[in-house]
């Protein structure tokens, strides 16, 4: 059977992954702090028809280039493009956007830590700062029932006042976490990530300190998806898929011609 059938099939599979990645980006155009994904591909192994560097004659001449036939393409990785999203003002005192590097750390029901840039926080029934799913932010910061005028400065210090008093009281200090390889984090959905051996160990620090971003109260980070870029990539992927499909059609017609002649 002609190798071109298998080669083109791998091309169609690769472009299917490409389209799936692009569609995932488009679906998350309004997801808070979402980072767009990009599929990366690698060529598959090669078959030598004539090995480069072999002797072409008894007098010592060598083949300068050789002849290798590639066997197609495969998906190598799907990277997150960790670029800063635009900040959108909400005026909600517990909406926090990270400007720069870092993730909020949250405690999962399993007792494990997860990490997120989605700072749309609320207060639980006990006054603790929690995510939209009720997961507590670490370190745990609890506000009293009579807390008013909650403020979070750029360094992550949480303050509040109580009725009848003008002096602010400190409720706690928010922290950020960074990783040596952010692409090594495993996405688990719900805008959450978990650390892996590829991400490296978490590095915890105070916002606005060296290597960490700062916080913006009353803002959220918008999705970093660019609609124009995604549509352009989608058209390119569709055309590549069509070309691979036409290669299969052409190979099939060539096989039919060969079968008729034999």
Convert the pLDDT of each residue in 187-223 to its tens digit. Answer: 999 999 999 999 999 999 999 999 999 999 999 999 9
| Higher pLDDT, residue 50 or 22 | 22
99 forms beta bridges with: 214
SS3 string, 115-127, reads: EECCCECEECCCC
Distance CA 5, CA 248 (A): 5
pLDDT over 90 at 228, yes or no: yes
| Per-residue pLDDT, 69 | 86
pLDDT over 60 at 250, yes or no: yes
Q: What are phi and psi of 36, to 5 degrees?
A: -65, 150
Cα-based distances in Å from 6 to 200, 236, 239:
38, 21, 19
When the pLDDT of each residue in the chain is averaged and rounded to a whole number, the result is: 92
Cα-based distances in Å from 21 to 7, 49, 176, 186, 222:
21, 36, 29, 16, 19
| Per-residue pLDDT, 67 | 81
Distance CA 15, CA 8 (A): 11
Distance CA 238, CA 105 (A): 39
Write down the residue that tokens 């745990």 correspond to: 140
| Per-residue pLDDT, 110 | 96
pLDDT over 90 at 24, yes or no: yes
Q: Which of 222, 85, 102 is nearest to 154 (CA)?
A: 102
How long, in residues, is the chain? 262
Burial class (CB in 10 A: 0-12, 13-18, 19+), 202: middle
Give percent of the chain with pLDDT exceeding 90: 79
| Per-residue pLDDT, 253 | 85
| Per-residue pLDDT, 261 | 66
Q: Is residue 117 within 8 Å of 221, Cβ to Cβ?
A: yes
Distance CA 128, CA 135 (A): 10
Residue 155: pLDDT band (50, 70, 90) is very high
Q: Rounded to two decimals, what is the model's pTM?
A: 0.87
Q: Which of 170, 34, 177 is nearest to 101 (CA)?
A: 177
First to last CA, the chain: 15
Distance CA 185, CA 191 (A): 12
| Per-residue pLDDT, 166 | 81
Mean pLDDT of 180-186: 95
| Per-residue pLDDT, 1 | 54
Q: Which of 84, 25, 33 is nearest to 225 (CA)?
A: 25
Domain ranges of the chain: 3-82+229-261, 87-221
Residue 20: pLDDT band (50, 70, 90) is very high
Distance CA 90, CA 186 (A): 29
- Residue-wise pLDDT tens digits, 37-91: 999 999 998 888 777 777 776 677 787 877 878 899 999 999 999 999 999 999 8
| Per-residue pLDDT, 54 | 77
DSSP classification of residue 93: T
Distance CA 74, CA 69 (A): 16
Mean pLDDT of 163-174: 90
């Amino acid at each position: 059977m002609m190798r071109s059938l298998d080669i083109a099939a791998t091309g169609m599979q690769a472009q299917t992954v490409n389209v799936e990645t692009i569609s995932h980006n488009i679906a998350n155009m309004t997801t808070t702090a979402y980072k767009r994904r990009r599929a990366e591909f690698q060529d598959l192994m090669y078959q030598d028809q004539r090995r480069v560097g072999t002797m072409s004659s008894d007098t010592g001449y060598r083949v300068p280039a050789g002849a290798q036939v590639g066997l197609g393409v495969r998906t190598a990785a799907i990277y997150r493009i960790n670029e800063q999203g635009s900040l959108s003002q909400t005026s909600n005192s517990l909406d926090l956007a990270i400007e720069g590097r870092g993730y909020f750390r949250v405690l999962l029901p399993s007792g494990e830590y997860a990490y997120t840039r989605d700072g749309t926080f609320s207060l639980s029934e006990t006054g603790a700062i929690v995510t939209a799913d009720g997961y507590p932010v670490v370190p745990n910061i609890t506000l009293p029932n009579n807390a008013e005028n909650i403020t979070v400065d750029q360094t992550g210090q949480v303050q509040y006042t109580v009725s009848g008093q003008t002096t602010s009281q400190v409720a706690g200090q928010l922290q950020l976490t960074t990783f040596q390889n952010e692409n090594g984090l495993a996405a688990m959905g719900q805008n959450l990530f978990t650390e892996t051996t590829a991400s490296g160990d978490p590095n915890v620090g105070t916002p606005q300190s060296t290597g960490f971003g700062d916080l913006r109260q009353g803002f959220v980070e918008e999705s970093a998806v660019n609609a124009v870029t995604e549509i352009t990539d989608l058209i390119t992927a569709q055309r590549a898929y069509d070309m691979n499909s036409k290669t299969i059609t052409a190979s099939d017609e060539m096989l039919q011609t060969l079968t008729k002649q034999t």
